[in-house]
Amino acid sequence: MKSVQFISITPQELQEEILKGVQKQLEEFKKDLSKTNQIELLSRADVAKLLQIDLSTLYNWTKKGTLTSYGIGNRVYYKREEVESAIIRLN
List, for residues 14-59, the tens digit of each pLDDT value: 899 899 999 999 888 888 776 666 788 999 999 999 999 999 999 9
pTM given for the model? 0.58
Residue 75 φ/ψ, nearest 5 degrees: -95, 145
pLDDT at position 55: 96
C-alpha to C-alpha distance for 36 and 43, rounded to whole angstroms? 21
Residue 4 φ/ψ, nearest 5 degrees: -115, 135
First to last CA, the chain: 50
pLDDT at position 90: 66
Residues 6+ positions from 49 with CB-CB distance below 8 Å: none
Q: How many CA atoms lie within 13 A of 32 on its CB side?
A: 6
pLDDT at position 63: 96
pLDDT at position 80: 92
Note the pLDDT tens digit of each residue in 63-88.
999 999 999 999 999 999 899 988 88
Please tell me the total number of residues recorded for the chain in this structure.
Answer: 91
pLDDT at position 50: 95
